[in-house]
Amino acid sequence: MSQRKVVLTVSVTGSIGDRTQNPNLPVTPREIAESAMEAQKAGAAVAHIHVRDPETGKPSMALELYEEVVERIRAESDLIINLTSGAGGRFIPDDNDPVGPGPGSNLRLPEKRMAHVLKLKPEICSLDVGTMNFGPFVFVNCQGHVEAMAKMALEAGVKPEMEVFELGHIEIARHLLKKGLVKSPPLFQLCMGLRWGIPARPEYMITMRDALPEGALWAGFAGAAGAFPMLAQAVLLGGNARIGFEDTLHVEKGKPASGNRELVEKAVSIIRALGAEPATSEEARQILQL
């Protein structure tokens, strides 16, 4: 019997953390693209892409930065590109006026949050379907905006990877399916251990998996210390997996990762120890029905 193939996504840089925590964090478009392609050589099939301001290292929504990353990857590899649409959902109330946005807020209309996806047409884009407290801010994804973003992805021919941080988010995803805004089979990412979403515990991942619509495709990950244990849990439960600097800056406790490639290499060793094999990008296209 052939070994099961696991689609491994590398979350290249994310929007949290900086080089004071790990000097190897990719920041420029060249660094992000090269890190993604190095991770593919180690076994990643999908690259989940955020961009950062090359000067400050802070999260960015600049279209030209996404364009450069995507062009570099497409020119040299067959890596599946998954662009985030999460940027533009952060709200911090003003201390003097809770209705108004305070410093650090970046709320944007759906058209702005999806502009890079609509122009660059990756095979996948993330779609955060629910609102939640996320660390010190509120991550705002109201129903009307989520529906608008799902419709944009559908019309652009981009498969949404629905990010779910709690059980209620899965119900929102079911609503999108029922309305025909997401095609079957739906693709889910179970996001565990991120403050203040569902904790990174094996029994909670089982509960999340069991709540998914029948026939759903899914992967799971956790942040920080839970990254590798929950990667193993996702594989054991029959799902796909994710690892990268967005999820953890360390390859083991107290040891900063030298790059995404090192994180992927460790992930691949776990996948193989559990009797599976990492899928190539071409195999992943078939598994994810892209």
> Which segments of 121-226 does DSSP mark as H helices, in order?
143-156, 167-178, 202-211
Q: Mean pLDDT, the chain, as a whole number?
A: 97
Residue 16 is part of a domain; what is its CATH number? Answer: 3.20.20.70
**102-115 per-position pLDDT tens digit:** 999 999 999 999 99
Ramachandran region, residue 97 (left: φ > 0; alpha: ψ -120 to 50; beta: rest) = beta
Number of structural domains the chain divides into: 1
Interval 204-209 mean pLDDT: 98
Tokens 């990719």 correspond to 26
For 92-141, write each residue's pLDDT tens digit: 999 999 998 999 999 999 999 999 999 999 999 999 999 999 988 999 99
Section 38-56 average pLDDT: 98
pLDDT digit string, tens, across residues 245-274: 999 999 999 999 999 999 999 999 999 999
pLDDT tens by residue, 161-185: 999 999 999 999 999 999 999 999 9
Burial of 155 (0-12, 13-18, 19+ CB in 10 A): exposed
Contact (CB, 8 A) for 8 and 271: yes
Residue 164 DSSP code? E
Sign of CA dihedral 59, 62, 66, 69: negative
Contact between residue 264 and residue 29 where contact means Cβ atoms under 8 Å apart? no
* pLDDT (tens digit per residue) in 34-45: 999 999 999 999
2 band by pLDDT with thresholds 50, 70 and 90: confident
Which range marks the domain in which residue 48 is found?
4-287
Q: How far is CA 271 from CA 5, 82, 144, in A?
A: 9, 21, 39
Average pLDDT over residues 236-241: 98
pLDDT band (50, 70, 90) for residue 1: low
